[in-house]
Structure 1
Amino acid sequence: MTAIRRAIGLMSGTSMDGIDIALLETDGKNEVRRGPSGFVAYESAFRRRIEAGLGEAKSIRTRNERPGSLAAIEQELTRRHGEAVLGFLSDHKLSADAIDIIGFHGQTVLHRPLEKLTVQLGDGKLLADLTAIPVVYDMRANDMVHGGQGAPLVPVYHQALAARVPAELGKGRPVVFVNIGGISNVTIISGTADPIAFDTGPGNTLIDQWVQDKAGIAYDSGGTIASEGQVLTEAVGRYMAKPFFVLKPPKSLDRNDFTLEDLGNPELADGARTLAKVTADAILEASAYAPDKPALWVICGGGRKNATIMADLTDGAAKTGAAVIAAEELGLNGDSMEAEAWAYLAVRAVDGLPLTFPTTTGCDVAVPGGVVVGSRK
């Protein structure tokens, strides 16, 4: 019998807005007891430093390179994660000894699956020293060694959560978990088969870039700006004609694989509305790779708070008799799910269980991953 461990998961996603943190008690298999979660925001100056670092990261050719300011950013980012953990422990009156392992994602600054190259900033050893808790990090690399794309990694956690879906919602058909972060990805769960997972296209990234460039606004809160605009069908067509959409899964994206160039230069609301439609259409296209028409789409991540995206998803899914719900309607937390997943993956990593599968990343065989550092004094 696999031991139940108490793990903390840390996620800093492609939106680069801060650190999600979550506590999980799990055996890394079917037992999942969700605990408290939290969020530590990056101030705008640090976010800008990371954004500038993305440009410097384009010159990276081997995983350990840290050109320009990236080495300093990595140290600062790791220290912020350490402070987030210590603050979280204090807030919830927990000692470091009460935590068995930390799952540390770090900050992705480069993801080129065709080159078998993925780079996440984050010093696992430093984090272990700062928190006095063992850390699992670098969970994507071993997948690439075995022919995978290094993403997505969350699907095995989605599969564990799918047990919460009531039979009347699942209807014996596939259930799709959707994460709308900077990039959107899906996990298609059908019975006991391995999950099918892949990136679907842009999530919030292009919308964020658009409203920032056009109006100096960090993001379209609630989809309010988009709700006042019109869909520019020609621009939607340009995005949906991209070669990425004819690739069969598994497939994954770098944050910069889609740009604002295909949008043109419409007014603010029309641009936001059009990009919301692109996000939704790209997600719904995923149904083509399900073994049957999905019955339910469970939406996680920041994009579920964009009412315009959610309305487009609801309208599109209804055409095939499917329902769309936010994660909270299943008693889950759509903000902390990726952080929870990293806690879950950390426990699997410690026990040598597979993190990725041929149907999720394209790896040759189901493979474990992660580097474990630090130990109890």
Structure 2
Amino acid sequence: MPRVIGLMSGSSLDGLDIAYVNFSSAGNYPEEKWTFDIIHAETIPYSSDWIKKLSTAIDLDARSYLLLHTSYGHYLGRCVNNFITKYNLKLDDIDLIASHGHTVFHEPWNGMTGQIGDGSAICSETGLLVVNDLRSMDIAYGGQGAPIVPIGEIHLFNEYRLLLNLGGIANITDQKYRIAFDICPANRILNKLVQEYFNKEYDENGLYSSQGQINEILLNKLNQLDYYKKLYPKSLSNSFGLDIIYPLLKNDKLNIYDILRTYTEHIVQQISNSIEMIIENEKQDKSTYINCKMLITGGGTHNKFLFQCLKSKLKENFGINIEYPDINVIDFKEALIMAFIGLLRIQKKPNVLASVTGAKIDTIGGAVWSN
């Protein structure tokens, strides 16, 4: 029974997610059936110093970037060591660490992606086998390098037709067609607005956004952005939210409550539009989604106002039933799947799907570090 620690740092910068997972399988590849058990999991909030370092990493010169890459790797390793101590784990209880790292650059059109968090540093701190750099192989084969979670969704959550992650960036998977793509910036923008205007980490339960009014002019500007017209496979970098969307919101003369309400509506509409895009491109009827189950995860799931707006929209437009899973799945699904992707890498099995990313082939991605 493989036992893996998965590490995930998302674009919302709320912290480092760590999940210790037991996996088991039955049957033979590629038809094997997988199950999982999240034994321990927690989010380690970033200090203000780390938030500043990670949020400004994109502006560093090459030497400073590599120094951060190394120091962040050592930090990840120390976090894992503290996690191991806290939960009384033994090194023999852990087969490997799979680390996504923190994305600084993501430019598949230039054949490049960059996640900091040196795997050799994690290995040296923990003494454990480490897999990282999970996206580069797919990009080298012409893919988007994202989303990479569908391989885990297919094997671990195959009872759901649709899966939606409301993280720093919202992304969707339709398992029937084995397609997935990034929809729009989500928590990263909402959190940044609330941090700037209210000095709060996030809009708890959507309290601030629920007090505003939708501004149709601003909403239309957002919905007309070129990315939303592109057909999948497609993926977003953090710079789309920070360099394109955030200035649009800041330059508008609305009060902050209306800005938050309008952006919340933008997220909801783009999720709905993404399903419309799938229907049109796959030449299906809307009825194909009636009563189908959608699993929703990620930090945005805790925003009750956003959740209710989305639930109403998808039920009204498509008849989709949103399911609210176990809290560990909501908060740690991506760390769980990073653990699974790392496990597949060690087993030399494909862990990124070409049907999702547009790559030439399914790839076995990840750099392996051991002492």
| TM-score > 0.5 by shorter chain | yes
Instruction: Give the alignment's TM-score, normalised by structure 1.
Output: 0.88
Corresponding residue SS for 1:245: helix
Corresponding residue SS for 2:21: strand
**Which of 7, 28, 33 lines up with 1:30 in the alignment?**
33
Residue 258 of structure 2 corresponds to residue 260 of structure 1: no
Partner of 1:348: 344
AA partner of residue 55 (structure 1): D
Aligned pairs for 1:106-117 (under 5 A) are 106-117=101-112
- Output the CA distance in 2 between the equivalents of 1:88 and 1:273: 38
Aligned pairs for 1:120-269 (under 5 A) are 120-165=115-160, 175-190=161-176, 195-258=178-241, 259-263=245-249, 264-269=252-257
Partner of 1:369: 365
Partner of 2:28: none
**Structure with more helix by fraction:** 2
- Output the CA distance in 2 between the equivalents of 1:353 and 1:27: 15
Corresponding residue SS for 1:334: helix
Equivalent pair of 2:74/2:118 in contact (CA under 8 Å): no
**Which of 257, 261, 269 lines up with 1:273 in the alignment?**
261
Gap regions ≥5 residues in structure 1:
57-65, 166-174
Corresponding residue SS for 2:170: strand
CA deviation string 1:76-135 (max 9, x = no partner): 321221122112212222111211111011110111121111100011011111111100
Equivalent pair of 2:191/2:202 in contact (CA under 8 Å): yes
AA partner of residue 295 (structure 2): V
Instruction: Give the alignment's TM-score, normalised by structure 2.
Output: 0.89
- Output the CA distance in 1 between the equivalents of 2:136 and 2:354: 15
Q: Report how far residue 54 of structure 1 moved.
A: 2.5
Residue 317 of structure 2 corresponds to residue 334 of structure 1: no
AA partner of residue 263 (structure 2): L
Gap regions ≥5 residues in structure 2:
26-31
Q: Report how far residue 68 of structure 1 moved.
A: 5.4
Q: CA RMSD in A?
A: 1.8
**Sequence identity, in percent?**
28
Residue 3 of structure 2 corresponds to residue 6 of structure 1: yes
- Output the CA distance in 1 between the equivalents of 2:121 and 2:166: 30
Q: Report how far residue 262 of structure 1 moved.
A: 2.5
Q: Report how far residue 318 of structure 1 moved.
A: 1.0
Q: Report how far residue 164 of structure 1 moved.
A: 4.6
AA partner of residue 8 (structure 2): M
Corresponding residue SS for 1:230: coil
Equivalent pair of 1:156/1:356 in contact (CA under 8 Å): yes
- Output the CA distance in 2 between the equivalents of 1:55 and 1:268: 28
